[in-house]
């Protein structure tokens, strides 16, 4: 990865004409040079009123790849909504090569209720792709989103946060056995990439299996806008647009250091072995040494002999961490991943230059 845009046209671009293609969906079209806001019907309420999702299609004048940006497949995950909204409406796309299909809120019923799942038998929209007509309500919604706004694309970025009560440092989840996804994941310029296909029914996996290489970006916690994470994600989107030639005057960003976590790497979810209240000593994005106390668990009396200390089993980076300070035995406390010596050195060097509370914890 370099800090400048590629000199050669991106491989994913196959249209050599001087004009871009028309973007079509069931019910409309967006011509080259147009930006259109759509409220697209995907279902109906109990009263028969339409359930519509907001979609903005920015179709550039010039040929290039079509990229979707999606958020809020889980209705309470808000950070990605602002990322997608700002890309669609605040950026200058006058010289856009290709098209951006922006879906800031896919799970509108969950978003309105501020719930993770569809408030219709608690269905998970992000386990329902690619969907199917004539199936459950969730699969019907997924089918209409997928066929109209995902399948026509060449690449995808799907934004998520941690589930309620936990928080993640910004990282990418990607199937690094896929050549185009390796390029896409690296271009997003996160420090951490977690390798894997993802569960069946997730947008990332099903889009990739359909021929639309897609990555998931995890960032922060539910029910919040976290400006520092939103800004870092916007940097990642700009870097992807530069790498794939959508914004040819932009530069590909290098994050300074990177760790790829696969099945061979040292990693674990530390879980509580006692119920009680958690006093977390370290936050997301922090480096801990083997034997460091990550947190303590106490009961309401906080007797010294009843305090349970949870120590780091190896030196590593905290990728995700508990926010809700109460636990049952077995509840997750933090996601810890090991670091190669050279990665750790680069991280420590960076920390001498930048306040880690600003860089990693906000």
Mean pLDDT of 171-178: 97
Structure tokens at 235: 């940097």
Positive or negative, the CA dihedral 49, 100, 26, 115 is negative
| Contact (Cβ atoms closer than 8 angstroms) between residue 123 and residue 87 | no
Mean pLDDT for the stretch of residues 175-195: 97
Lowest mean pLDDT among 30-44, 108-122, 197-211, 341-355: 341-355
For range 306-317, the mean pLDDT = 94
Helix pair 227-243, 179-188: axis angle to 10 deg:
130
Instruction: Using pLDDT thresholds of 50, 70 and 90, give the confidence band for residue 14.
Output: very low
pLDDT value for 266: 82
Mean of pLDDT values over 70-91: 99
- In this model, does residue 244 exceed pLDDT 60? yes
Joined together, the tokens standing for residue 9 give 């046209």
pLDDT at 356: 46
All domains in the chain, ordered by first residue: 23-260 (3.40.630.10), 266-361 (2.40.50.100)
What are the phi and psi torsion angles at 349 (to 5°)? -65, -40
Q: How far apart are CA 228 and CA 220, in angstroms?
A: 10
Q: What is the mean pLDDT of residues 107-127?
A: 95
Q: Sheet holding 308-311: strands in order across?
A: 308-311, 293-298, 276-280, 326-327
**Where residue 114 falls among pLDDT bands split at 50, 70, 90?**
very high
Q: What is the mean pLDDT of the chain?
A: 91
pLDDT band at 360 (very low <50, low <70, confident <90, very high): very low
- Rounded to whole angstroms, how far apart are CA atoms 216 and 200? 14
CB atoms within 10 A of CB 137: 18
pLDDT beyond 60 at 62: yes
């Amino acid at each position: 990865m370099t800090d400048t845009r590629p000199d050669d046209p991106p491989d994913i671009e196959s249209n050599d004409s001087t004009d871009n293609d028309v973007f079509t969906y069931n019910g409309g079209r967006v011509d080259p040079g147009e930006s259109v806001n759509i409220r697209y019907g995907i279902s109906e309420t109990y009263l028969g009123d339409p359930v519509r999702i907001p979609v903005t299609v920015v179709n550039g004048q010039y040929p290039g790849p079509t990229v979707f940006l999606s958020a809020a497949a889980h209705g309470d995950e808000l950070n990605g909504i602002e990322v997608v909204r700002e890309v669609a409406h605040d950026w200058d796309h006058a010289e856009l090569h290709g098209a951006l299909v922006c879906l800031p809120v896919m799970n509108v019923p969950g978003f309105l209720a501020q719930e993770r799942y569809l408030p219709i038998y608690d269905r998970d929209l992000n386990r329902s792709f690619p969907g199917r007509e004539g199936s459950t309500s969730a699969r019907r919604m997924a089918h209409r989103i997928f066929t109209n706004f995902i399948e026509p694309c060449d690449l995808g970025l799907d934004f998520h946060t941690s589930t309620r009560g936990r928080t993640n440092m910004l990282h990418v989840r990607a199937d690094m056995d896929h050549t185009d996804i390796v390029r896409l994941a690296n271009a997003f310029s996160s420090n951490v990439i977690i390798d894997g296909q993802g569960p069946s029914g997730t947008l990332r996996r099903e889009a990739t299996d359909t021929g639309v290489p897609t990555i998931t970006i995890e960032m922060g916690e539910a029910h919040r806008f976290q400006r520092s994470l939103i800004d870092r994600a916007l940097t990642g989107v700009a870097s992807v647009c530069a790498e794939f030639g959508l914004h040819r005057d932009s530069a590909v960003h290098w994050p300074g250091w990177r760790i790829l976590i696969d099945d061979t790497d040292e990693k674990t979810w530390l879980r509580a072995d006692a119920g009680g209240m958690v006093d977390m000593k370290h936050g997301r994005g922090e480096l801990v040494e083997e034997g460091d106390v990550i947190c303590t668990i106490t009961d309401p009396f906080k007797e010294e002999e009843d305090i349970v200390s949870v120590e780091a089993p190896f030196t590593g980076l905290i990728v995700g961490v508990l926010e809700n300070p109460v636990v049952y035995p077995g509840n997750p406390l933090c996601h810890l991943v090991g670091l190669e010596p050279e990665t750790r050195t680069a991280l420590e060097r960076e920390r001498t230059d930048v306040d880690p509370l600003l860089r990693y914890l906000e």
